[in-house]
Amino acid sequence: MAVAVRTIKPDSSEAQKNNPLGIGSFFTEEQFSMMQEIMYPKYISAGNHLFWEGDPLGKLYYIRSGKIKLLKSTEDGKQFILSILQAGDLLHEPADGFRQHHSFSAEIIENAELGVIQAKDLDSLMHRQGDLAFSFMNWMAFMQRVTESKFRDLLLFGKPGALASTLIRLTNTYGVATPDGIRINLKLTNAELADFIGATRESINRMLSTLKAEGTLSIRKGYIVVECLDALRTMSQCPTCSACPKGICRI
């Protein structure tokens, strides 16, 4: 629950170290410190929602610890996972003059400590600090590129290519190198993988079975281990690293 005090302790380097492409990497230390000065703390336990699709806009959420799953529902009841954010990320859906309500929901999947910023406070800060506003625009442009690259992979290369792309993005975001391959350090069910690409759980079961039989990946203690990243890149027709750097290719 949010408290009345509108300050938050300075961010440790842990979130930035574990997530070098988080929001903090787009600002100077002084700029990020100014942003933290207008945050107030909020703590939410796993299983709760930060907000629901249709709730009013007006706040930004800096994730100091925990994980948040972003979900989009369709009129016929289907659900898509848009992203899974981690410590160091900023959750922000701007008002665009036509829409004043969230177009997706945010579910807490790991106990979260947040820094909340009122949009009006950030607007005031950016009016006073032009350099900070420019850095914020760079971050928004970066996130737009991430979204565009996801749409490209989901729409152009069929369900197998979309699954391969999702697995690559998961390795870039949550991957840990092991002697067996890259372990995705985030447990996901086959149903959740299906929700990333708009597929059925049964089709994901079949595709994963094929990838395991081919030696592309394995499942160890509930974690996916990618043993042949190049095979996934071939399936998703991965562009060159210069066209789609690791920072863009994230979940």
Helix (H) or strand (E) holding 73: strand 59-73
- CATH number at 84 reads 2.60.120.10
Q: What angle do CA 227, 232, 233 make, to 5 degrees?
A: 120
25-45: average pLDDT = 95
pLDDT at 184: 96
Residue 26 and residue 145: Cα distance in Å, rounded?
Answer: 15
Does position 31 have pLDDT exceeding 50, yes or no?
Answer: yes
State whether 103 and 199 are in the same domain: no
User: Is 149 in contact with 162 (CB distance < 8 Å)?
Assistant: no
Q: What angle do CA 152, 135, 107 make, to 5 degrees?
A: 55
For residue 185, name the pLDDT band (cuts at 50, 70, 90): very high
State whether 120 and 28 are in the same domain: yes
Residue 152 and residue 247: Cα distance in Å, rounded?
Answer: 16
Per-residue pLDDT of 200-209, as tens digits, reads: 999 999 999 9
Per-residue pLDDT of 149-160, as tens digits, reads: 888 888 888 899
pLDDT at 1: 35
Structure token pair of residue 45: 């336990």
Which domain covers residue 237, as residue numbers? 153-248
Per-residue pLDDT of 126-146, as tens digits, reads: 999 999 999 999 999 999 989
Domains contained in the chain, number:
2
Give 215's DSSP letter.
T
Residue 152 and residue 165: Cα distance in Å, rounded?
Answer: 10
Q: What is the pTM of this model?
A: 0.87
Does 191 reside within a domain?
yes
